Structure formats: structure tokens, C-alpha cells
A and B are shown apart, each in its own frame.
Chain A
Amino acid sequence: MLKVKNLSKKYGKVLAVNKVSFEISCGEIGVLIGPNGAGKSTTIKSIAGLLRFDGEISIDGKPNKSIEAKRVFGYVPESPSLYEYLSVWDHLEFVARAYGLQDWKDTADALLTRFDMDDKKKKIGKDLSKGMQQKVSICCALLIKPRMVMFDEPMIGLDPKAIKELKEILIELKNSGCAILISTHILDSIADVWDKALIMNKGEIVFNNTRDAMALSGESLEHIFFSKTEEEETEQ
């Protein structure tokens, strides 16, 4: 579903991402982890179509910047930024219009109820707490019933109930065949749900393996993360 092939991105003379390649299949949850400055954000922004890059990124077989690819792609950014004067419902209505959704209202209602936001429909963006903004951001991404969804630090700012709900939603999405990519620093937050781990360091993918394969070696994700990232440091 998501294919990233030889992705490279330079900022001036700095090579932020160097020939990164990976795939996330339908019904798979990939987790992108790495220390600060590893190139995760650049990779995420490139996949979201916000940056120019070298290489290829395709979603559902279409170039990621094409209208067709965007139609099936949901994105939850690291810092939720809502339109200050648009209400919660307005945001959902905008997404429905922008993605040309039909009969979206019931889905929107259901999502808001799951995140305890059904009584906040009329609240405008600037009056929402950061956690509530994050919930709206998640609802917007899920409203389109994406076939590929990307979360950047999705748990930050969420209350325990919303975290539990989001984890359940991730499983539901996975079961429905949606490809999911989650970028996070908090390994514990995704410990139960991931299928494939991608560890980035210094602009490169230094580890790419599935949970099943790792289960055979008996190593924990945390252990591999430190060994891969610190190994690089020591080699330097």
C-alpha cells in the first residue's frame, strides 16, 4: 500500500534522509522510530506530500502527491493545528467536502462520540485544549475511511481513555485492511499493536523487520532500538 523507494532529501548541503526504502502493506501497522534528528519528520513530511524529494513514494500504487493518492490517505500531524475560528463540526464538514465524502455525518458523529467530543461540536478550534485538538485531528484523518493512514506521535496530549480508544481503532483499521504508519518516541505506547518496526538513525533506515521475525530472535524492540542507535554512535 505504501511504498517508499530510495527517498532522499537534502536541506541545502545537509542530507536529512539518505536513500530510505520501505513498504507498509495493507492490514499492517508499521512503526517508525529513531532518536531526535534521525530524519523521521522529513520522511513523514515527504510521505504527506509536503516536501520535494528524490526517489519515489506511492500510496495505493499512485504517486503520493497525486489527487488519487491523497483521496485514500489520512494524516495526523505531530502538533495538531486547527483553524482557529472553525468549530469541531466545521472541520469535519470541510474534510467531507474536500474529500468528496457522501453520507459522512453518522461516521463523524460516531468518531466524536468515541473520543468524548460529541458535546464539543460547536466549540471553535482556538477554544480547544491541545488534547482535544489532537482528537479532532484524528477524527479528521479517520473520517475519510483511509486505506493508508499516517500518525506522527498520535498519543501525545491524549487522555487515557482516548489512548485506549485510539489503540482499538488502530486494530480495527488494521483488520479492515488499512495500512498504518506510526512515528513515535514512546515505544511503550505502541508496544501491543505494531507489526513492522523501522528504526531510523542519521537519515537512514538501520533496522527493518517484522514482529514475527523478531519474536524468533527473542529480542525486544527497545533493546534493538538502543543497540542499533548506540552502535551507530559508537562507530562514529
Chain B
Amino acid sequence: MRSMLFIMRKHLKNIIKGVFKKPLLLIGYLFIAIFVVIMLIAAFAMPSGLIRKGSNDLYIGIVTIVFIFMYYTTFKLGIDKGSTYFRMADVNIAFTAPIKPNHILLYGFIKQLGGTLLFLFIALCQIPNLKNNFDMKPYGALMILLATIVYALAYPLISMLLYSWATKKSGRKKLLKRVIDVFAVVIVVFVLLSLAQTRNIVDTLGAVFDNPIAKYFPIIGWTSSIAIASINGFTTEFWVGLFFMFALILGAAVTLYRMNLDYYEDVLEGTEYLEAAVKAKREGNNITFGIKARENVKQKMSGTGASAIFHKHLLELRKTAYVLFFDRSSVSVIIAAIVFRLVMPDESQILSLSMILLFALYMLLLLQAQGRLGSELEKHYIFLIPASSQEKLFFATLGEHIKNLFDGTVLFILSGILFKAPISIIVSCIITYTLFGAVYIYTDILSRRLFGRVHSKGLLIFLKVIVNLLILIPGGIAAGIVVAITESELLMICALAGWSFVLGVTLFAFSAGILNNLETAS
């Protein structure tokens, strides 16, 4: 075990040393540290429920759905590929060394504890928003973080056991996946049936998720009950959930630790998958990672010179989309925006589609912070095409603009019909959505020119999100002034669109040189 602890100690030490060697990196991490401190203060010190006291049913519904979604996706992937705490370096160096497998597993488990920090960070960012909208207990933030830790510790252990069981006999994988799918379908059916009766989303959430079966349901109910203690207090469900999750984690860990361990094969596929995912993320391909390309797309490659890139992108977009350009990111933007609108406070509903627009822009920022162009810059082809840098940049991003226009059109026509919004608002929302997409894309490119190949992709994304938010502030202020003076939602959206157009053009002009050579891109 000492040798495994040596790896962890050295790893941490070298990361810290590396950060101190690069001032820009240090500033970036300091920035993140300050952000975390502010979020921590906000999460723990800010009063709760001052702006609005949302119903407990809504809170319980949101929390339970989040955990259902997280467990569903991680278990399905876990059954298919196995779960892993390890990287290929562990497989190649540690697995083949004369170290007891259960010591290596323990090392993996300790590493996973470090991995929970990311989940905690994501959860931490949601707490101020939850506190604004719900009447949380003083220890509410702590309960949310506790539930997050419990989830982050439980899912890899359970996935590993499931995979281990599923791979021992053919047909088990399929069976397990079917069981999980049936379970998901049952929940959806319950929600729809209840919605048909109540015709109210909050009442539906209450009816489906605020009942003993849901609260005591193994794993999902137990984990949710811990988070729900943030508004309901230390109820019986909380103690039951905490006890069972603790027992489950301990039991699974001891089972894996004590069994006649031959788990290397079980984690090998998962580790290879993780390694491929990390590589895809580094190359900017994570938006399409894991998606099977369609082979029956009839579109042919066309275009000459720089426009060939555009046609290639169109073909790629079509191949990775379900229909036309409708893909995984379209689904997430649309579902998230509409759900957000449904659970939005009534007083905000006078602003028609604006709230959906703002939320969709936020979602787009997170999705596009990764940037599809990144994968293009990792390869040499784009630099070799005999065309000007401006021309290449235009065509290399045109596909993304069309994709955003497509997503925006689907989202706002759909929500426009749902919420009976005027056509002028729908059109202005679509245009604004597309223009903001352009701002995000060109900020991404400019960030690459400014910061270069930052050693951490996470840090680069963080910086890009911050830069985007900063440059969009004037547009937000202008929109606020316009709506205050004119009380017109249309003009407010137009103000946002106008500012994003100016920004988009300016950013394009500054970032065009990125395709001059590989050095400017990295």
C-alpha cells in the first residue's frame, strides 16, 4: 500500500509544483479558489427563501429526478463498460506489479474521494440558486453536499459489482440494462399519468416523488432523502437513507476488498473507455464522444477550398444527429429550457419566452464552452488548406452557426406554441440564440489565442465561461435599461441581439489569425 500512497503523494506534489512554475496557471487557479470561497460563503451564509419560497414538492421532485438521471446514466454505462477508479498508467504499471489487488482497489477508492471534489464543486454552484428559490434549513447546503459525496462514492462501487456480475454469464448485461430501462419507463409513465390527472407539474412531482415508496426506494430514494433533509430536516427518511447508503458503500467496498479479487478485467474496459474519453475531451471531441455515427446519411461531400470544411462539418453534424441536426445537445437544451420554464415562478411568466431564452443561452454557454472547432485545430488539415485564415475560420464555424440556428428554431417555435408567444418574439429569440452561439464560438477561439494550450482543459473552460460572462455584461445592462424604459420584451431581446452581433463581429476580426499556423492555435 505504501507504494500506492507514494504515487498519490508525488502526484499531488508535482501538480502543486507545476502550478507554481506557471504564473498564468497560478492566477487561473487562484481565480477558481476565490470563486469557490465565494460560492462556499454564499452557500452557507446567505439566507434562504428570501426571494421566493418554492414548494417542497417541487424541490423534492427536482432532487429526485436529478439522482434518478445520474444513477440511470452511470449504471447503464457501468453495466456496459464497467466502472473504474483507474487510468491506463495504473493498469500497465500497478496492476502488473507485485501488489495485492485489494491494496490497489483501496488506492482507487481513495482516488475516487478526490474525484468527489468535482461533484461537490458542481453541487456547490447550484446551492445559492436553490437557496434563493426554496426555504432551506440552516444546514441545508451541508445536506446537499453530503448527498453528493454519497452518490460519488456509491455509484462506482455499485457499477463495478453490477458489471462483475453481468459479465459472468452471457445475457446478464442485457437483462440488467432492460431492468433499468423498464424502471425508467415506469417512472415516466407514472409522471405522465399523474400529470394528466393534476395538469400541474408541481402537484405531479409531489404525487410521484413525495411518497414513502419513492423516499425509501433503494439507492435513489435513500440518496435523495439525504439531500431532501435540506428542506425537510432530519426526518426518519433521512436517517434511513443515510444508514442504508452508508451500509451499502461499506458493504460494497468490503465485498470487493475481501472477495477473491480478480477484478482487473472488470475495470479494464472501463479504464480504456475513460482514457478514450479523456483523449476526446483534450481534443475537443467530447460533444460527440460515445455517439455512434449514422451510416445511412445520403449527403455527399461538396464545396471547394475553405468551404470544403463547412461541408465536412455539415456531414459530421448529420452523421451524429438523430434527425437533420437534431442531436444530444439539442435535446438537452430544449428539455432543460422547457422544464425550467415549467417550474419557473408565476410572476416571471409575463416575460414570455425571455426566461427560456436566458436559460437556453446559459445552457449553450456550458455546452459550447468545449467548442467543436477544438478538434479541428488538433489536426493539421485545416492549416494546409490553401485559403485565407479569415475564410477558413468563417467556413469552419458556419456549421456551428447553422446548428445553433436549427436548435434555436426548434426550441423557440416549440416553446412559442406551448406558451402562446407572439411571432416577433419567437423570431427575435431565434436570432439572439444564434448570435450568442457565435459569440461563444469566437470567444473560444480568442481564448485559445490568448491563453494557448492551458495545461488543464477544465481551467480553460472556466476562463472561457468567465470571459463570456464579462463581455456580455454590457449587453445585459443595455437590455435592462431598454426594458425599464420601453417595457417592451421585444426591444429588450433586440438589445441583447444587437450587442451579441457587435461582439460576434469584433471577436471574429480578432480571432481570424488563429488559422495562420499551428503555433497561433496552440
Q: Which residue numbers of A lie inside 8 Å of B, CB to CB?
A: 12-13, 45, 48-52, 65, 67-68, 70-71, 73, 75, 77, 79-87, 90-91, 93-95, 97-100, 124-126, 137, 140
Contact = CB atoms under 8 A, between A and B. Distances in A.
A93 B11 contact: no
B350 interface: no
Contacts of B12: 85
A125 B265 CA distance: 25
B268 A52 contact: no
B170 A13 contact: yes
Nearest to A126: B455
A178 B12 CA distance: 37
B268 A70 contact: no
Contacts of A73: 96
A81 B7 contact: no
Contacts of B91: 50, 81
A70 B97 contact: yes
Given A95-B93, A98-B3, A99-B97, A86 B11 contact: yes
A106 B129 CA distance: 59
Nearest to B11: A85
B213 interface: no
A85 B10 contact: yes
A1 to B, nearest CB: 16
Contacts of A48: 95-96
12 contacts: A12-B170, A48-B96, A50-B96, A51-B264, A67-B100, A70-B96, A70-B97, A75-B96, A81-B88, A83-B93, A87-B10, A98-B98
B87 A81 contact: yes
B439 to A, nearest CB: 32
- For the complex of A and B, list the 10 residue pairs with the smallest distance between their C-beta atoms, beginning with the closest: A81-B88, A97-B3, A70-B98, A98-B97, A98-B3, A85-B14, A71-B98, A77-B92, A67-B98, A81-B89
Contacts of A91: 93
Contact of A49 (B15, B95, B100): B95
A50 B264 contact: yes
A52 B18 contact: no
Interface in B250-292: 262, 264-265, 268, 275
A90 B10 CA distance: 7
B2 interface: yes
B94 interface: yes
Nearest to A89: B10
Contacts of B98: 67-68, 70-71, 98-100
Contacts of B7: 83, 86, 94
A189 to B, nearest CB: 21
Contacts of A86: 7, 10-11, 14
B97 A51 contact: no
